[in-house]
Every structure is written in structure tokens, then in C-alpha cells.
Chains A and B, each alone.
Chain A
Amino acid sequence: MNSASCAAKISTQPFSLNPTSLTSHDNPLVFPKPTSLFLGSTRKLRLSSSSKLNLHRRSGTVVAVSDVVKQKKSKSTPSLLITKEEGLELYEDMILGRAFEDMCAQMYYRGKMFGFVHLYNGQEAVSTGFIKLLKQQDSVVSTYRDHVHALSKGVPARAVMSELFGKTTGCCRGQGGSMHMFSREHNLLGGFAFIGEGIPVATGAAFTSKYKREILKEADCDHVTLAFFGDGTCNNGQFFECLNMAALWKLPIVFVVENNLWAIGMSHLRATSDPQIYKKGPAFGMPGIHVDGMDVLKVREVAKEAIGRARRGEGPTLVECETYRFRGHSLADPDELRDPAEKAYYAARDPITALKKYLIENSLASEADLKAIDKKIDEVVEDAVDFADESPVPSRSQLLENVFADPKGFGIGPDGRYRCEDPKFTEGTAHV
């Protein structure tokens, strides 16, 4: 947190099992020593280079990044990155995410939640850092690891918990589930189970923002879209297709890569020819930035720049956040392949602990303030569970609802009239 000037460093902070290398983090001039990358190894390429070196290697289009770095240097000494209110807001959001996900794990093991549940523990800085800068009309498109994105975007904890329990008071009335959180009111467009599926949808939402402004003449429409996805998705064709189209049509979108190094049990290094994802941005004509995703303030600074770019109509940005998930891929994942030393390394960089330390050291908040927030969030989460427990399951008639916006799509019944006009239509069995 003190190295605020390194917020947008275009280097990777490598983790390596070799204990002596831990000190080389601070030395920017260690040249790359390729260690064995093959098959099952968790070592990363020990590439560390200073910001300056990388900037020279970059093409001219990446002006935005160097601006951030310059901005950082001027701000680094006297002023703080956030105000007290902002700090407490960020803290509360991250604590909500963490407490909620922990409660999800408990509920799953008690059998109240079922199916596939993917938890976000450890990655809260990315969600909070980006989403808290958005307006209500901006959109967020996520993957199956979407509970915390929903919470940060403003969907009430009660609605998310009920949805997970499969109750009719959930944000999608129990029809979506853990992986399919949608909210029209908060512009959360899901919730997609297929990786890479959300990226074109997000690109489309950004396209509509531009279409509304230019064709439908809604002059003040400057809505931005954020697409969240993981490291595994960056090898998928749809990712590249959308980088191309977003840069081609200069769409107001930010592609946020939550690089937690693992796609279920597949290490990012085993799956990717060039593991540095941010480099794929300039290949398509947009800036690519790498940021430490365990530090919410750094993420927030980068997010401000990227979202500002999109809002001003300057086009898309690719942001790679190096982060880590403390739990397995899902609650069904035994998580045996990841090295405990790696987990310990990232656990020591817990974003919530780091923010807490920053707030206290810079006298933005006291221990008591933060404890009060912890307690408040505990109550919110407990209340969400109670609410979800007490909510009713969907009624039988809900099975056939919402298949079509125009229910005449169910066709014509044996009596020659549209089936949906028959009042008994949804009360019977599923025989259509």
C-alpha cells in the first residue's frame, strides 16, 4: 500500500518457491531466469522489469497507462488515495463480500444451498475496486463467480441469499440460481456458466450504450460496461473476438481479467503460451494494464482511469488483476493441486487486512469504527439467511412462467385458441 507509485506497474510480481527470490520483489533489476514451467509446476516466470523498461517496449497506443503512472508519482507523497467515507465504503463492501461467501459455504454444507456454488474469497479487492466506481446505469457482466459482483453492484444481500436457496423472493425468483444472477434494476447482466459467454454479451451492452447515444440520440448516455472473467477465459476464442470488435468500434467497455492463476485444477502457466494477459490488449489496439489485484486502492486507481477512458468515448481497456481465490474452484472442489506455500503467500496479502491496516495507519478510521462495520455486516448476513429461510419456495405455476416475454409462444392448444389464454394453463402439469 505504501508503494502507491507502483499502482499501475506493468510488471508481474512473481511468486516463486525459492525463498531467496522473495527479496527480489523490491529489486526491479533482476533479469528473467526461466525456471521449469512444465506440467504441474507452480512457478511463474520470474520476469520483473521496471515500468520504464516496459514502457519503451510498448507501442504508441498505450498512452493511458503511462498517464496513470505519471499521475501516481505526483500524488504519491502528501495526499492519501481515499477519503474516510470512501475508505469505510470500500471496507464495508469487502467485508460484506467475505462474510456472505463464508456464510454460503456454511449453508452449503448444511444442505440449504445446492448445485454449483463458486466462492469469491480473496478476490474482493477487484470487485470492490471496480464496481464501487460505477453508476447505477452502468452494467456489469460476470461469470459463475458472481455473488460478490451482485452485492457490490447493489443487489440486496437478502435477494442474493434467497436466490441461492432457490426461493421465490430471490433476485430471479429462484429460476436462475448461483450462476445466473440477473438484475434489471441494478444492471447486472448475469451470471453466465460458460466461460467467455459473458464477454460478447458485455460487448453488446457497451454497443447499445454507443447506439443509444449516436442513433437514438440519447445525448447523455455514457454508460460503461465492465466484463469480469478469469485467466482461463483468456485462451477462449470469444475473448479475442470481442477485443477486436470493442477496439474496432471503440466501445465503452473495460475488460477485467481476474487472474487467480487457476482454472479449476489447471494452472494458468500450463494452459497459456504467453501467460502475461495484459499484453494481449495492445495487440488489438487497446491499452493493457497489469495491477496487483490484492490491493483495493491500486485496483481503484487503475479502474478510475479505465472507466474514465470508456466514459469519454476513448474506447476499451484490458486490465489484468493479479489475484487469488482462497477457496477451491467451487464447493465441490477438493483443491488438492495448489501448493500450500502459494496459498499462504496470498493469504498474507489478504485485501481486507491490507485495507484495514491502511485505514488505521493513515488515521482514516479507528479499530472501533471497523469493528462496528464488521458487526453490522454480520447482522446483515444473518438477516439475509433468516429471510431466505422463511421465504416460500416457488409455486407450481411458476414453472411455465417467463419462458417467453410473449406467452403466445407456447402456441395454440387443442381447442384452437392460444394456450396462454386458458386460465388453467399454468396450474396443470408441465405437459405443454
Chain B
Amino acid sequence: MLGIVRQKMLEQSLKKIPPAVSVLRSYSSAAKQMTIRDALNSALDEEMSADSKVFLMGEEVGEYQGAYKITKGLLDKYGPERVLDTPITEAGFTGVAVGAAYYGVKPVVEFMTFNFSMQAIDHIINSAAKTNYMSSGQISVPIVFRGPNGAAAGVGAQHSQCYAAWYASCPGLKVLAPYSSEDARGLLKAAIRDPDPVVFLENELLYGESFPVSDEVLDSSFCLPIGKAKIERKGKDVTIAAYSKMVGYALKAAETLEKDGIDAEVINLRSIRPLDRSMINASVRKTNRLVTVEEAFPQHGVGAEICASIVEESFAYLDAPVERIAGADVPMPYAANLERMAVPQVEDIVRAAKRTCYRSESREIDSQHCGGRS
């Protein structure tokens, strides 16, 4: 919240400054690059130093410096009582973290991948998400579950599932999926400060990617609001809604589409639950066409929910059927070429956008070429 206010103030102050000086300003404030890994690490570090109730728990978070090095350096800084290496007992340690959260401390539980959270899903849903309701507000659970989600490279079926839809269907949970470093920092800080259980879905392949960050993102009180999406690229012909890694693909698709004269608007959902339906609907009412993109299995997914929301609220504004791009409806194969077919690619998004603009062949012909949709 504070971050947004400061951003507005910064923009206003920039407008008042004469052009030459403002160019210099924008160079210096946008020059810094930060990887997602550093963004998450710095967010954890700052939140732990600000509040001694925050502690980390998970496999390999301490001495191994984090399975993906997200928690690097934190054990040395905060000691083994606040950065806990756990035994390999997802159900057990997740329940322990939830029980601790009942008493007001703020655990950040790391799952090595969200696939392993399936062993602990009983505690995430039944002991964490539902408790504030069952106890009628007596016991709130300020816990964060974080870890990489979705497909990585060549890791096979049991390490590649995306859990956004599963967790987002459960009332009592908040589900966040950052894309850029700014998202990662702001949303993780918001999640740690939030008094409710938050599922924070990162992406392993994005950890090493750099994004530009402004000075106020680097400020230790920077925080993004939960429940608000972001328009990454303004456009007027078609809306492309995506989350996590697919936002990057959608932006690339938008560049390709621009050459063909289609001006795409890309929405970075940021928050899967609560979903920012009002922003998506407002965008569709402007562009009249929608493509949803996700890496997950297609049935009962995030795209299905967005489509239902549009049909309920903005049906009269649609000029074309909603296009839903998702992963293939198969467990993730291992072979590299099959894996590429099982995950949406930029070309799939481009084709789908063109279909909504009636610029490409019909669906039947298209589906022979395209592996990345149901």
C-alpha cells in the first residue's frame, strides 16, 4: 500500500521536473537490476529483521543455504532457532508451523517444490485456511507457504504440477503468484505481514532472471496490495491475462502481435485468490477479446475461472469466444521435445490472440499444430 502511494508521489514529482532533468532521473532510478532470487532473499531478510516473530522452516533452508539458494545467508544472520532445517516430514512440520502460528508467531514454510505440499495439504487447508472461520475469529493463522511451483526443465511428472487452481479454490487462503522482482519483493512482504494463511507460488525457472527495480521497490517498507492485478502493457485490441512465468511469454507474444498490427493488453494477475475480477473485466470491456494463459492443467483451472467471471459480468462486451491457453492435459513428460509441447509457448499465445481477432484459420486446423492447449 505504502509502495503504491510513494509511486504515485514519485510520478507526480517527476512530472513537475523539466524534461532534461527527468530523463536523468529516470535513468538513475530504473537502472538497477535484481534477480528474483535476490528479491526474495532481501524480502525475507528485511521482514525477519523487522519482526522477531518471523521465522523460516523447511528442508535445507539453513545450512544448505536453501535448495534453490533463496534463503542464502539467513542462517548465519539469524541463527538456527529462526532458520530451521526440518526433517523430511512435510505433514509434520507444516502442522507444527500452523500450530505455532495459532499463537501469533509468523512462520514462513518453504516447500522444496509445491508438489511436496501435497503431503501437507491437509494442514494447509484444514488446519490453516479453515481455522479462522471454525473458531469464529478467535484464532487467526499468519503463516506463509512458499516455494517453486509449476514446470521446471526436464524434472518429470511428479515435480512439474502447478497448484494455483487447487489452492485458489479454497476459501480462507490467499494465493499469490509473482512475476517480476518487484512483484516478488512486494508480494512476499505483504504475505508475511498478512494475518491470514498465504500460499506464495514462485517459479524455479524465473529465479535467475533479472528485472529492473526502482528505488522505492528497494525500500524496506515496500509492499504491494494483495488482490490487485497489474497491467504490464497497455493495449486496445485483445486482453491477455497470465500469471507467473506466462506473463513473460505473454509480453513476448504482444511484441510479435504488434508487428501484425494487433495491440495486446497484458495483465499480470499477481493474485490468484482473491482474483482481481474488476480489473480483468474492465480490460475486457475495453478490448472485447480475452486470452487466458497458464501453465497448469486446463480443467478447472485459473483460466476457466476467469472465463466464467467474464461470461457472468461482461458477456455483452465479448466479440469473440474466450481463448484458454493451458498446459497439455497429460502428466508432464520427460523427453525435451514432448515437454516443450506440453507447456504453452509464445507461438500458442500469438495464435490464440489472432484467433480472437479473426485473423487466423479456424480452431480445428490450428489444433493440429498446437500442442499447448486442451
Which residues of chain A have a CB within 8 Å of any CB of chain B? 141, 172-176, 180, 182-184, 189-194, 197, 199-209, 211-212, 214-216, 237-238, 241-242, 244-245, 248, 401-406, 408-416, 418
Report the minimum CB–CB distance from A260 to chain B (whole Å): 24
Q: Which residue of A lies closest to B275 (CB)?
A: A411
Contacts of A183 in B (CB 8 A): 138
Query: When the two chains form their complex, are residues B99 and A208 in contact, meaning their CB atoms are under 8 A apart?
Result: yes
A202 vs B92: C-alpha distance when bound (angstroms): 11
Complex CA–CA separation, A411 to B98 (angstroms): 24
Determine whether the beta carbon of B96 is less than 8 Å from that of A245.
Answer: yes
The 6 residue pairs across chains A and B that have the minimum distance between CB atoms:
A204-B99, A200-B95, A411-B274, A241-B92, A182-B135, A201-B99
Residues in chain A near residue B282, CB distance under 8 A: 416
A residues near B171, Cβ cutoff 8 Å: 403
Contact A200 B134 (CB under 8 A): no
Band of interface residues on B: 35 or more
Contact between chains at B194 and A200 (CB < 8 Å):
no
At the interface, yes or no: B64 with Cβ under 8 Å from chain A? no
| Interface pair B91/A237, CB less than 8 Å apart | yes
Given contacts A175-B133, A203-B92, A404-B132, contact A192 B126 (CB under 8 A): yes
Residues from chain B with Cβ under 8 Å of A411 in the complex: 227, 271, 273-277
Q: Which residues of B contact A248 (CB under 8 A)?
A: 87
> Is the C-beta of B33 less than 8 angstroms from some C-beta in chain A?
no
Tell me whether A203 and B95 are in contact (CB under 8 A).
yes
Interfacial chain B residues near A403, Cβ < 8 Å: 132-133, 171-172
Q: Which residues of B contact A406 (CB under 8 A)?
A: 194-196
The verdict on A208 contacting B105 (CB below 8 Å), with A176-B136, A194-B126, A412-B274 known, is yes
Q: Does B287 contact A (CB under 8 A)?
A: no
Separation in Å of the A180 CB from the closest CB of chain B? 4
Beta-carbon contact of A409 and B274 below 8 Å: yes
Measured CB to CB, the nearest residue on chain B to A244 is B87
Q: Is the CB of B132 within 8 A of A180?
A: no
How many angstroms between the C-alpha atoms of A411 and B269 in the bound complex?
13
27 contacts between A and B (CB under 8 A): A172-B134, A172-B136, A175-B133, A176-B134, A176-B136, A190-B135, A194-B126, A201-B98, A201-B127, A204-B102, A205-B102, A208-B103, A209-B103, A215-B82, A238-B91, A238-B92, A241-B91, A241-B92, A245-B87, A248-B87, A402-B132, A402-B133, A404-B195, A406-B195, A412-B228, A412-B277, A412-B279
How many angstroms between the C-alpha atoms of A414 and B133 in the bound complex?
A: 25
Shortest beta-carbon distance from B126 to chain A in Å = 6
Name B88-122 residues within 8 Å CB distance of A.
89, 91-105, 122
Nearest A residue (CB) for B171: A403
Within the assembled complex, what's the spacing in Å between the Cα atoms of A76 and B133? 49
Residues of B within 8 A of A216 (CB): 52-53, 105
Q: A180-B134, A408-B226, A409-B174 are in contact. Are A242 and B52 (CB under 8 A)?
A: no
Query: Which B residues touch A200, using CB under 8 A?
Result: 91-96, 98-99, 123
Assess the B226–A409 pair: CB atoms within 8 A: yes
B158 contacts chain A at the CB level, 8 A cutoff: no
Query: If A175-B134, A201-B95, A203-B92 touch, does A404 touch B172 (CB 8 Å cutoff)?
Result: yes
A203 touches B87 (CB 8 A): no
Out of B82, B99, B132, name the residue touching A207 (CB < 8 Å): B99
State whether A245 and B194 are in contact (beta carbons under 8 Å apart), knowing that A172-B138, A200-B94, A418-B227 are contacts in the complex: no
| List of B residues within 8 angstroms of A212 by Cβ | 103, 105
Question: What is the minimal beta-carbon distance from B263 to any residue of chain A, in angstroms?
Answer: 23
Residues of B within 8 A of A412 (CB): 227-228, 274, 276-279
A residues within 8 A CB of B105?
A: 208, 211-212, 216
Known contacts A141-B99, A237-B91: does B281 contact A414 (CB below 8 Å)? yes
**CB neighbours of A182 from chain B (8 A):** 131, 134-136, 138-139
Residues of B within 8 A of A197 (CB): 95, 122-123, 126-127
Q: Are B95 and A204 in contact (CB under 8 A)?
A: yes
CB of B138 within 8 A of CB of A413, answer no
CB neighbours (8 Å) of A199 from chain B are 95
Query: B196 to chain A: which residues have CB within 8 Å?
Result: 404-406, 409
Chain B residues contacting A204 (CB-CB under 8 Å) are 95-102
* Given A208-B105, A211-B105, A244-B89; A402-B137 close (CB under 8 Å): yes
Point out the residues of chain B lying under 8 angstroms from A244, CB to CB. Answer: 87, 89, 92
Question: What's the Cα separation between A176 and B101 when bound, in Å?
Answer: 19
Q: How far does the alpha carbon of A212 sit from the alpha carbon of B97 in the complex, in Å?
A: 14
CB-contact partner of A205 in B55, B81, B99, B134, under 8 A: B99
Are A214 and B81 in contact (CB-based, < 8 A)?
Answer: yes
Given contacts A204-B99, A242-B92, contact A405 B122 (CB under 8 A): no
A211 to B54, CA, bound (A): 11
Structural contact, B135 and A172, CB atoms closer than 8 A: yes
Given contacts A242-B92, A242-B96, A406-B195, 5 further A-B contacts (CB under 8 A): A182-B136, A211-B100, A405-B196, A411-B227, A412-B227
- Confirm or deny: B140 has a beta carbon within 8 angstroms of a beta carbon on chain A: yes
Residues of B within 8 A of A215 (CB): 52, 55, 81-82
Contacts of B313 in A (CB 8 A): 414
CB distance from A404 to the nearest CB of B (A): 5
Contacts A189-B99, A211-B81, A409-B226 given; does A184 touch B139 at CB 8 Å: yes
| Interface pair A405/B87, CB less than 8 Å apart | no
Give the distance in Å from the alpha carbon of A404 to the alpha carbon of B134 in the complex. 11
Residues of chain A with a CB closer than 8 A to B131's CB:
182, 190
B53 contact set on A, CB distance < 8 A: 216
Tell yes or no: B299 within 8 A of A by CB: no
Report the nearest A residue to B135, measured CB to CB.
A182
Asked if B86 CB lies within 8 Å of chain A CBs, one says yes
- A245: chain B residues at CB < 8 Å are 86-87, 89, 92-93, 96
Q: Which residue of A lies closest to B101 (CB)?
A: A204
Question: Given the complex, which residues of B lie within 8 Å of A141, measured CB to CB?
Answer: 99
- Mask, B162-184, CB within 8 Å of A = 1, is 00000000011010000000000
Report chain A residues within 8 Å CB of B141. 405
Q: Write out the residue numbers on chain A whose beta carbons fall within 8 Å of the beta carbon of B276.
A: 411-412
Which one of A193, A206, A237, A242 has the highest number of Cβ atoms from chain B below 10 Å of its Cβ? Answer: A242
Q: How far is the CA of A201 from the CA of B99 in the complex (A)?
A: 4
The chain A residue with its CB closest to the CB of B313 is A414
Question: Is A205 within 8 A of B122, CB to CB?
Answer: no
Q: How far is the CA of A58 from the CA of B111 in the complex (A)?
A: 38
- Shortest beta-carbon distance from A73 to chain B in Å: 38
B3-45 contacts to A, CB under 8 A, are: none
Question: Shortest beta-carbon distance, A189 to chain B, in Å?
Answer: 6
CA distance in complex: A207, B225 (Å)? 31
- Asked if A208 contacts B123 (CB within 8 A), the reply is no
B273 contact set on A, CB distance < 8 A: 409, 411
Chain A nearest CB, measured from B276 CB (Å): 6
* Minimum CB–CB distance for B48 against chain A, Å: 11
Inter-chain CA distance A197–B95, complex, in Å, is 7
| Bound form: Cα–Cα A291–B303 in Å | 57
Contacts of B172 in A (CB 8 A): 403-404
The smallest beta-carbon distance between B8 and chain A, in angstroms, is: 16
Distance in Å: Cβ of A90 to nearest Cβ of chain B: 28
State whether B278 touches A413 (Cβ < 8 A). Answer: yes
